[in-house]
Amino acid sequence: MSQKFKKIIAISICALLSGCDVDNSDKRYSTDQVLIDEHGVTLTPSKAMYVDFDSISKAYIDTMTCMGMTAIGPTVEFRSFSFAGLGATWAFYAPVESTIWINIDEDDLVLSRSARTDLEALEHEFIHHILHKNDAAEEAREHSSPFFGKCGPGINTYN
Ligand SMILES: [Zn+2]
């Protein structure tokens, strides 16, 4: 077995274990185009993303699978919240627009973002969206659905 192949396997195993830090976890991604996947997840032009579109798309599928529910995907946009005085907020879901905003915290005020926090924020907001689309808006608003705990509690700030 070649060294390169062994390394690929090692990285794959690593990625299966939660909490595993892959070397390039502070890599940033951006897109100047609108990207749409087969579930309707739409990424508007965004910058300063710690996750790429494939990871966003996969997280949406994982969240639907975890919940045992489906919904046409939301729009996702990474943007600064500082304009609205919401600098300390990780993410926000706007049900009417079916849009998730992820705070890029461009002034580096409070958030210590990484690939992990971007995914945790996305999973949590995906649950808001999927519940909303399945007529469980009340549960989504009040965080009373058990799916939040099971499939996306939000940012885990223990480390
Ligand atoms: Zn929430």
- The model's pLDDT over 71-122, given as tens digits with 9 standing for 90+, comes to 999 999 999 887 777 777 899 999 999 999 999 987 666 788 899 999 999 9
Q: What is the DSSP string of 76-121?
A: EEEE--GGGT-TT--EEEETTTTEEEEE--TT-SS----HHHHHHH
CA of 156 to the centre of ligand 1 (A): 13
**pLDDT class of 10 with cuts at 50, 70, 90:** low
* pLDDT confidence of residue 105: 85
CA of 54 to the centre of ligand 1 (A): 23
Q: Which domains does the chain have, with CATH numbers?
A: 27-151 (3.30.2010)
* pLDDT confidence of residue 3: 58
Query: What is the mean pLDDT of the segment spanning 42-52?
Result: 96
CA of 104 to the centre of ligand 1 (A): 17
* pLDDT confidence of residue 86: 73
CA of 124 to the centre of ligand 1 (A): 6
Convert the pLDDT of each residue in 11-26 to its tens digit.
454 444 444 444 456 7
